[in-house]
Amino acid sequence: MSEISLFENTLLSPEVQAQLPAGHTLRALRSNDYERGFLKVLEVLTEVGNHTKQEWLEQFNYLKQHNHEYFTITITDDKRDQVVAAGTIFVERKFVHKNGLVGHIEDIAVDGNQQGKKLGLRIIQALKFIGAQRGCYKVILDCSEKNVPFYEKCGFKQKEYEMAWYV
Ligand code: ACO
Protein backbone atom coordinates (compact mmCIF):
# COMPACT_ATOMS: atom_id res chain seq x y z
CA MET A 1 0.00 0.00 0.00
CA SER A 2 1.38 3.44 -0.91
CA GLU A 3 2.27 5.83 1.87
CA ILE A 4 -0.26 8.50 2.91
CA SER A 5 0.61 11.96 4.26
CA LEU A 6 -1.61 13.52 6.94
CA PHE A 7 -1.86 16.86 5.09
CA GLU A 8 -0.50 18.75 2.11
CA ASN A 9 3.11 19.99 1.85
CA THR A 10 2.08 23.62 1.28
CA LEU A 11 1.62 23.93 5.06
CA LEU A 12 5.28 22.99 5.71
CA SER A 13 7.52 26.01 6.26
CA PRO A 14 10.28 26.19 3.60
CA GLU A 15 12.31 28.38 5.98
CA VAL A 16 12.28 25.72 8.68
CA GLN A 17 13.22 23.03 6.15
CA ALA A 18 16.18 25.19 5.01
CA GLN A 19 17.45 25.52 8.59
CA LEU A 20 17.41 21.81 9.47
CA PRO A 21 20.71 19.91 9.79
CA ALA A 22 21.79 18.24 6.52
CA GLY A 23 20.00 14.95 5.86
CA HIS A 24 16.92 15.89 7.89
CA THR A 25 13.43 16.51 6.48
CA LEU A 26 10.33 18.25 7.81
CA ARG A 27 7.19 16.30 6.88
CA ALA A 28 3.53 15.84 7.69
CA LEU A 29 2.97 12.63 9.68
CA ARG A 30 2.90 9.62 7.32
CA SER A 31 1.07 6.33 7.50
CA ASN A 32 4.38 4.40 7.68
CA ASP A 33 5.86 6.47 10.50
CA TYR A 34 4.90 3.56 12.77
CA GLU A 35 7.93 1.75 11.28
CA ARG A 36 10.04 4.93 11.54
CA GLY A 37 9.80 4.99 15.32
CA PHE A 38 7.28 7.84 15.73
CA LEU A 39 5.74 6.25 18.84
CA LYS A 40 9.19 5.57 20.29
CA VAL A 41 10.01 9.31 20.04
CA LEU A 42 6.80 10.13 21.98
CA GLU A 43 8.08 8.02 24.88
CA VAL A 44 10.16 11.02 26.06
CA LEU A 45 6.80 12.61 26.99
CA THR A 46 4.90 9.91 28.84
CA GLU A 47 3.69 6.31 28.62
CA VAL A 48 2.67 5.63 25.00
CA GLY A 49 1.37 2.03 25.05
CA ASN A 50 2.21 -0.88 22.77
CA HIS A 51 0.23 -0.11 19.64
CA THR A 52 -0.20 -2.75 16.98
CA LYS A 53 0.08 -1.44 13.41
CA GLN A 54 -3.72 -1.73 13.20
CA GLU A 55 -4.19 0.43 16.31
CA TRP A 56 -1.73 2.98 14.93
CA LEU A 57 -3.61 3.08 11.61
CA GLU A 58 -6.97 3.55 13.35
CA GLN A 59 -5.65 6.73 14.97
CA PHE A 60 -3.81 7.88 11.82
CA ASN A 61 -6.98 7.41 9.75
CA TYR A 62 -9.02 9.42 12.28
CA LEU A 63 -6.50 12.27 12.09
CA LYS A 64 -6.55 12.06 8.29
CA GLN A 65 -10.35 12.41 8.27
CA HIS A 66 -9.98 15.49 10.53
CA ASN A 67 -6.92 16.97 8.86
CA HIS A 68 -8.41 20.46 8.88
CA GLU A 69 -7.99 20.31 12.69
CA TYR A 70 -5.07 17.97 13.40
CA PHE A 71 -1.63 18.81 12.04
CA THR A 72 1.09 16.46 13.27
CA ILE A 73 4.59 16.96 11.88
CA THR A 74 7.86 15.09 12.11
CA ILE A 75 11.54 15.67 11.45
CA THR A 76 13.17 12.56 10.03
CA ASP A 77 16.81 11.53 9.79
CA ASP A 78 16.78 10.46 6.15
CA LYS A 79 19.87 8.23 6.26
CA ARG A 80 18.43 6.10 9.05
CA ASP A 81 14.84 6.65 7.84
CA GLN A 82 13.82 7.34 11.43
CA VAL A 83 11.64 10.00 13.05
CA VAL A 84 13.77 12.09 15.44
CA ALA A 85 11.32 14.84 16.46
CA ALA A 86 7.56 15.41 16.37
CA GLY A 87 4.79 17.80 17.38
CA THR A 88 1.12 18.63 16.80
CA ILE A 89 -0.99 21.75 16.41
CA PHE A 90 -4.74 21.28 16.93
CA VAL A 91 -6.90 24.07 15.49
CA GLU A 92 -9.98 24.83 17.59
CA ARG A 93 -13.04 26.75 16.32
CA LYS A 94 -14.54 29.37 18.61
CA PHE A 95 -17.50 31.78 18.59
CA VAL A 96 -15.46 34.48 20.32
CA HIS A 97 -13.20 36.69 18.23
CA LYS A 98 -15.89 36.38 15.56
CA ASN A 99 -15.60 32.65 14.90
CA GLY A 100 -11.91 32.80 15.74
CA LEU A 101 -9.42 29.94 15.51
CA VAL A 102 -7.02 29.01 18.31
CA GLY A 103 -4.00 26.74 17.76
CA HIS A 104 -3.10 24.34 20.56
CA ILE A 105 0.44 22.95 20.47
CA GLU A 106 0.65 19.40 21.86
CA ASP A 107 3.09 16.51 22.27
CA ILE A 108 6.42 18.11 21.40
CA ALA A 109 9.06 15.41 21.52
CA VAL A 110 12.69 15.14 20.44
CA ASP A 111 14.47 11.77 20.54
CA GLY A 112 16.57 11.53 23.71
CA ASN A 113 19.82 11.25 21.70
CA GLN A 114 18.99 14.23 19.48
CA GLN A 115 18.03 16.88 22.04
CA GLY A 116 19.92 20.18 22.13
CA LYS A 117 20.36 20.37 18.32
CA LYS A 118 17.55 22.92 17.73
CA LEU A 119 15.14 20.24 16.47
CA GLY A 120 12.60 21.19 19.16
CA LEU A 121 12.87 24.84 18.12
CA ARG A 122 12.35 23.90 14.44
CA ILE A 123 9.26 21.83 15.30
CA ILE A 124 7.74 24.79 17.16
CA GLN A 125 8.60 27.22 14.34
CA ALA A 126 6.97 24.84 11.84
CA LEU A 127 3.81 24.51 14.00
CA LYS A 128 3.58 28.30 14.41
CA PHE A 129 3.78 28.56 10.60
CA ILE A 130 0.84 26.14 10.24
CA GLY A 131 -1.16 28.06 12.87
CA ALA A 132 -0.57 31.33 11.01
CA GLN A 133 -1.38 29.78 7.61
CA ARG A 134 -4.65 28.38 8.98
CA GLY A 135 -5.63 31.81 10.36
CA CYS A 136 -5.29 31.24 14.12
CA TYR A 137 -5.38 34.49 16.11
CA LYS A 138 -3.23 32.88 18.82
CA VAL A 139 -1.28 29.68 19.51
CA ILE A 140 -1.09 28.38 23.08
CA LEU A 141 0.36 25.40 24.97
CA ASP A 142 0.80 23.91 28.45
CA CYS A 143 4.22 22.89 29.73
CA SER A 144 6.21 22.11 32.87
CA GLU A 145 8.14 24.88 34.63
CA LYS A 146 11.36 23.21 33.46
CA ASN A 147 10.43 23.82 29.82
CA VAL A 148 9.44 27.49 30.23
CA PRO A 149 12.90 28.77 29.09
CA PHE A 150 12.67 26.57 25.97
CA TYR A 151 9.28 27.98 24.98
CA GLU A 152 10.44 31.53 25.73
CA LYS A 153 13.27 30.94 23.24
CA CYS A 154 10.56 29.82 20.80
CA GLY A 155 8.81 33.21 21.19
CA PHE A 156 6.11 32.31 23.75
CA LYS A 157 5.39 34.19 26.97
CA GLN A 158 3.84 32.94 30.18
CA LYS A 159 0.13 33.71 30.65
CA GLU A 160 -2.60 32.32 32.94
CA TYR A 161 -2.47 28.96 34.80
CA GLU A 162 -3.09 25.38 33.70
CA MET A 163 -5.83 23.43 35.55
CA ALA A 164 -6.33 19.67 35.24
CA TRP A 165 -8.92 17.08 36.29
CA TYR A 166 -8.09 13.41 35.91
CA VAL A 167 -10.93 10.86 35.59
N1 ACO B 1 15.89 24.88 29.84
C2 ACO B 1 16.51 25.97 29.30
N3 ACO B 1 16.74 26.12 27.97
C4 ACO B 1 16.36 25.12 27.16
C5 ACO B 1 15.73 23.94 27.63
C6 ACO B 1 15.49 23.86 29.04
N7 ACO B 1 14.87 22.79 29.58
N8 ACO B 1 15.49 23.12 26.59
C9 ACO B 1 15.95 23.77 25.49
N10 ACO B 1 16.46 24.97 25.84
C11 ACO B 1 17.05 26.00 24.97
C12 ACO B 1 18.27 25.49 24.24
O13 ACO B 1 19.43 25.66 25.03
C14 ACO B 1 18.27 26.38 23.00
O15 ACO B 1 18.76 27.65 23.36
P16 ACO B 1 19.77 28.49 22.40
O17 ACO B 1 18.95 28.82 21.18
O18 ACO B 1 20.14 29.66 23.21
O19 ACO B 1 20.90 27.57 22.07
C20 ACO B 1 16.77 26.55 22.69
O21 ACO B 1 16.09 26.31 23.95
C22 ACO B 1 16.27 25.57 21.65
O23 ACO B 1 16.52 24.26 22.13
P24 ACO B 1 16.47 22.97 21.19
O25 ACO B 1 17.84 22.48 20.90
O26 ACO B 1 15.58 23.21 20.04
O27 ACO B 1 15.79 21.94 22.21
P28 ACO B 1 15.47 20.40 21.96
O29 ACO B 1 15.64 20.02 20.55
O30 ACO B 1 16.19 19.59 22.98
O31 ACO B 1 13.89 20.35 22.29
C32 ACO B 1 12.40 19.73 24.09
C33 ACO B 1 13.40 20.77 23.55
C34 ACO B 1 11.23 19.61 23.12
C35 ACO B 1 11.87 20.23 25.43
C36 ACO B 1 13.14 18.37 24.20
O37 ACO B 1 14.22 18.50 25.08
C38 ACO B 1 12.25 17.21 24.64
O39 ACO B 1 11.72 16.48 23.82
N40 ACO B 1 12.14 17.02 25.97
C41 ACO B 1 11.36 15.90 26.53
C42 ACO B 1 9.88 16.01 26.22
C43 ACO B 1 9.27 17.35 26.60
O44 ACO B 1 9.46 17.86 27.70
N45 ACO B 1 8.49 17.93 25.64
C46 ACO B 1 7.77 19.18 25.82
C47 ACO B 1 6.46 18.91 26.49
S48 ACO B 1 5.39 20.34 26.54
C49 ACO B 1 4.36 20.19 25.17
O50 ACO B 1 4.38 19.18 24.50
C51 ACO B 1 3.45 21.34 24.79
What's the whole-number average pLDDT of the chain? Answer: 97
Q: Where are the beta strands (DSSP E) in the chain?
A: 24-28, 70-77, 82-93, 101-110, 138-140
CA of 12 to the centre of ligand 1 (A): 21
> Which pTM value belongs to this model?
0.98
Distance CA(135)–CA(137), nearest Å, equals 6
Pocket test for ligand 1, best of 46, 105, 115 (most atoms within 8 A of CB): 115
Please determine, for the modelled complex, whether the ipTM score is greater than 0.85: yes
Question: Is 164 buried (19+), middle (13-18) or exposed (0-12) by CB count in 10 A?
Answer: exposed
Q: Which of 79, 73, 139 is nearest to 108 (CA)?
A: 73
Ligand 1 pocket residue status of 108, Cβ below 6 Å: yes
Ligand 1 pocket residue status of 107, Cβ below 6 Å: yes
Report pLDDT digits (tens) over 86-101.
Answer: 999 999 999 999 999 9
CA atoms within 13 A on the CB side of 158: 10
Q: State the average pLDDT over residues 4-30.
A: 98
